[in-house]
Amino acid sequence: MSVSQNEGKQSIATISIGGKTAEMPVLSGNLGPDVIDIRKLPSELGVFTFDPGYGETASCNSKITFIDGDKGVLLHRGYPIAQLAENASYEEVIYLLLNGELPNKAQYDTFSSTLTNHTLLHEQIRNFFNGFRRDAHPMAILCGTVGALSAFYPDACDIAIPENRELAAMRLIAKIPTIAAWAYKYTQGDAFIYPRNDLNYAENFLSMMFARMSEPYKVNPVLARAMNRILILHADHEQNASTSTVRLAGSTGANPFACIAAGIAALWGPAHGGANEAVLKMLANIGKKENIPAFIAQVKDKNSGVKLMGFGHRVYKNFDPRAKIMQQTCHEVLKELGIKDDPLLDLAVELENIALSDDYFVQRKLYPNVDFYSGIILKAMGIPTSMFTVLFAVARTTGWVSQWKEMIEEPGQRISRPRQLYLGAKERDFVPLNKR
């Protein structure tokens, strides 16, 4: 294959296979590497590409999120994630991802008010929770209830109408923390706490999680700021497994509630949404500080099969830009709560120090990632590990909905249909049962 420029200065990739040659346009984005448009490859050369996991394939155009893993860059609509996490409210980030720009004061006030007005759930949904066992995993409740919203809001299923798409987006983003908090309350046998219009998004979620009917609840501003940052840092992350699942489901014309439920199901997988829970399990297995040297030795031994969870990242080959903010937030939360004698948190701090100073980890750029710090923060805040992935889903719903809307509104959008490399039996004749 060779790449050249034609008279119009557009790059062209010339591909030769089996004596045939075809020219494919090379497309350039505003940031990131160029991509070869191979849509005519089957018709002109009679071949497809093979890319298991689609790790080297651009499946869509998008203006929402950009990641440069080598440089440790994460941008939302062009804004660095650190600037958003430090300075913005989650409501501002929701508006940004949905609309492409940060809101002005009037837009913010209107948007926040609309979002708040959609936080309540239909009263019949309370009955829906009773269909689950008390020991059901909160992700099962979340996945089932979000999918069931389509039965309560059938008007949103006609996605050809722009107003319906906007309404569905607001309903999903506003109601997901209520459903999540109620899923937790249900498994605890506690009374459901309704959302409050005087609280912002992060504060409301904490209230619905931890308030009790028998006593007033005052939101701790340090914890609310931490939750706001956690939501922002997990709001979107380009075309990952769950986001691609939402787009794949949405390409069929499925209603938005079903698409987001599909995203929740994909996030449920331990390889995707369970990383911060895996960090706490790792710390529990280590047990105490005296065991850390032996554990680190096992990590360095390639034949041991022991992994250091919460360090390094598949996408980021440098420091995870979200981890820097989460690290700061972690220390703020621990200081606010006065936590000094928790064995797991002590282990986490010791592991962090080792990873940032040990040449083995520094040379391999195995820095603590966002999952390492978020697991510590959530545990310190009293959120059980069963709710970690649920909280991830609450934050990521904004990104899923934004990506879904972008895909639906893309001119010429078509149903997704990946190809395959078939390795099964060749064509053969059927043999009757009595002759086999």
Q: Got the DSSP string for 106-148?
A: HHHHHHHHHHHHT-SPPTHHHHHHTTS-TT--HHHHHHHHHHH
CB 263 within 8 A of CB 390: no
From the list 237, 313, 331, 359, the catalytic residue is: 313
Tokens 């697991």, located at residue: 375
φ, ψ of residue 66 to 5 degrees: the values are: -130, 135
Q: Which two tokens stand for residue 365?
A: 């750029």
Q: What is the dihedral of CA 385, 223, 396, 241, to 10 degrees?
A: -40
Contact assessment for residue 350 and residue 411, using Cβ atoms and an 8 Å cutoff: no
Look up tokens 């099962």; give the residue: 140
Q: Clarify whether 371 is annotated catalytic.
A: yes
313 is catalytic: yes
Helix, coil or strand: residue 221: helix
Question: CA 359, CA 347: separation in Å to the nearest integer?
Answer: 20
Give the separation between CA 56 and CA 78, rounded to whole angstroms. 23
C-alpha triplet 211, 215, 217: angle, nearest 5°: 45
What is the phi/psi pair of residue 311, to 5°? -125, 135
Which amino acid is located at 128 in the chain?
F
Strand order in the sheet with 65-68: 65-68, 73-76, 79-80
Question: Known catalytic residues?
Answer: 313, 371
